[in-house]
Amino acid sequence: MRKYENFEFDQDQLSAPPASDTKIICVIPSFNEAGLIRVLDAMISCEPLEEGTIEILVVLNEGEDADKEVVLFHDQQFEELNNFGQINNDDSFCIHVIRARNLKAKFAGVGLARKIGMDEAAKRFLSVDRPDGIIASLDADVRLSTNYFPVLLSHYNQTDSLRAGNVFFEHDLSRSENTLEKSGIIQYELHLRYHIIMQKYIGLPYAYHTIGSAMSVRASAYLRHFGMNKRKAGEDFYFLHKYIKTGDFKLIKEATVFPSPRYSERVPFGTGRAVQQIVESKEAYTTYDPASYLVLFSLIDRLNEIYENPDSLAAIANPEILAYIGEVLQHKFLEIKKNTTNFSSFEKRFFQWFDAFQLIKYLHHMRGHGHPDVDLKFALTVLFDKINLNLPEGQEAQLLQLRKYERHA
């Protein structure tokens, strides 16, 4: 295994050693979360593993510029959580708390907090000679289906090559504080599912949600791919796509993670900020134009023809794609073909290049060149038609339909 030298702290952050049979370590970053003990109580009420211990590792974190009230609250909460652990820890569940203080303001945030906890989890697995132990990432306001832990372990045990995965998610609509917030999270989740399902429809192989509170990774894979990043938002997207592109990634559908629907100002983008913007604007949510995906489909659907004759690109590809990356695309096709011996290898290498980052760049280009964002209602009408589903009345019913479709697809 490549030596990992990117630990945030050289010193272990916990003095208590892990149980030798620890199978899963769940990392929960927490900043000023008053309801954390209720969340932990629900977690330890979930089904335990048939054999092995589950650790829940809470990272109470704040930056060097944090309000004194937050620091004081975390100090008090640290004691409460440790007491809660002493009362509830047993052979199936153990709760530990890391107190991460005075983090540099430049980096302090959810990415760094996840990194501190996931680094520590990796160290703990190595200390008990279990490099393939599972590091799960949750949030301090998340809820889990009761079968979360056994299902997670079962999938990793069934597939030795599985390096990382995401558990199926559904925002918990019942926890919305008001009608506007509920409408906001429904619209945002509809946008997320529309974006992923449209990718699958046009044949993009790495179309997965990247939800920080639903992701998991083997400790060995975590170390091999240089661990978590320190981004204040989007940390989950950047982290998971390191594994998605290898092909050793899967969506675990038999369990469910229920993220909170609340809005938030803590991060510059993501679910919380999106819901806040929807609630405050009181305007219909917009999303990428379906035509942008369908233009791309005209290229993906004929990759084999282009592989056989790269000079045919100009005649086959939609002019809008050629206007975006025509010369780069031609060069990339020739380069990939030169270094592959069959279409299967060519196709794999192509999609490792045209990944989620390239897709977002492409969609943003199209947004500014004839395909501005469209009303979510129109986008969903196109989507339901393409995947042969009847479009129900009302956005909540539409969301429930897409959840069902993705879970069983």
How far apart are the C-alpha atoms of 364 and 379, rounded to whole Å?
16
Is residue 274 in some structural domain?
no
Distances (CA, A) of 329 to 198, 354, 362: 22, 10, 12
pLDDT for position 313: 83
pLDDT for position 76: 98
Is residue 333 in some structural domain?
yes
Same-domain check for residues 298 and 255: no
Domain end point (choices 246, 264, 282): 264
Same-domain check for residues 59 and 126: yes
Task: Quote the pTM value.
Answer: 0.92
Note the pLDDT tens digit of each residue in 98-115.
Answer: 999 999 999 999 999 999
Listed in sequence order, the residues at least 6 apart from 317 whose beta carbon sits closer than 8 Å to its beta carbon are 298, 299, 302, 306, 326, 329
Same-domain check for residues 230 and 92: yes
Q: Which residues of the chain have pLDDT under 70?
A: 1-3, 262-283
Is residue 278 in some structural domain?
no
Same-domain check for residues 241 and 153: yes
Is residue 374 in some structural domain?
no
Number of domains in the chain: 2
Is residue 334 in some structural domain?
yes
Q: Kindly list the strands in the beta sheet with 164-169, ordered across the sheet, starting from the edge strand earlier in the chain.
A: 93-103, 53-63, 22-30, 134-137, 215-218, 164-169, 249-258, 143-144
Element holding 379 (H helix, E strand): helix 376-386
Is residue 271 in some structural domain?
no
Same-domain check for residues 248 and 115: yes
Same-domain check for residues 250 and 334: no
Same-domain check for residues 224 and 362: no
Tokens 């056994």 map to which residue?
A: 150
Same-domain check for residues 259 and 319: no
Same-domain check for residues 237 and 298: no
Q: Which CATH number covers residue 112?
A: 3.90.550.10
- The 3-state DSSP composition of the chain as helix, strand, coil percent (nearest 5) reads 50, 15, 35
Is residue 311 in some structural domain?
yes
How far apart are the C-alpha atoms of 72 and 76, rounded to whole Å?
6
Same-domain check for residues 307 and 210: no
Same-domain check for residues 249 and 337: no
Full residue range of the structural domain in which residue 306 is found: 290-367
Is residue 11 in some structural domain?
no
pLDDT for position 309: 86
Q: Which two tokens stand for residue 119?
A: 């680094």
Same-domain check for residues 227 and 309: no
